[in-house]
Amino acid sequence: MIEKATNSELNPYNVFQNVAIGALACHSFTQGYYKVASTKKSKSNYPKIEYLFFVLPLVYHKDTMKTFKSSRELYNAILKNKSIVLGLHERANKMSSQTLDSLNLAFSKNLLSINKDNEIILNEEFINKKISIPANKDRENIIKNIQDSATKIGNIFAKTDEKNIQIELNIRF
């Protein structure tokens, strides 16, 4: 019985259906975005809510997650893995309720909030605080990988003009 629980813990389907992990991904994306955008004067320090609907479809795909972890620019990530853009908008639409549930949890736990300009704001306590979930010994920490990828995607989105994000990812906000 214990072995069965351990196996289900590592099942990607169970991870991806977990709203708490989605909330952590949204938080990590917002943190990554803030770290880059706060150093620029021409952009808002926080991402628009529309950006977050593309986070879960990107970080829940293993190859895409690895690609973004090793990229610094959106263009380079797409060159490394052209499948990033395939059906991304449709996947975001299909996962929109899960994204909303994840955001709702993040709002209710005061990880994030939203302002009048529909930007997702990090609450003061969590601006520089990474929420870590320990992994089982000798196993890959899927949650940490999701968080790291979401942070990197946030960094990349903050560096990229909104129009270029839409063109390069073949999406619409």
Q: How far apart are CA 166 and CA 85, in angstroms?
A: 10
User: What is the full per-residue pLDDT of the chain (173 aa) written as tens digits?
Assistant: 334 444 444 455 455 578 999 999 999 999 999 999 988 876 789 999 999 999 999 998 888 888 988 888 988 899 898 888 888 999 999 999 999 999 999 999 999 999 999 999 998 887 878 887 777 766 668 888 899 999 999 999 999 988 999 988 888 88
Q: How far apart are CA 153 and CA 40, in angstroms?
A: 17
pTM, whole model, 2 decimals?
A: 0.85
Enumerate helices (H) and strands (E) in the chain, giving the number of each.
11, 2
- Whose CA is closest to 114, among 51, 60, 162, 172? 51
Q: Residue 103: give the domain boundaries.
A: 2-169
Inter-residue contact 81 to 11 (CB < 8 Å): no
State the DSSP code for 128. Answer: S
Total domains in the fold of the chain: 1
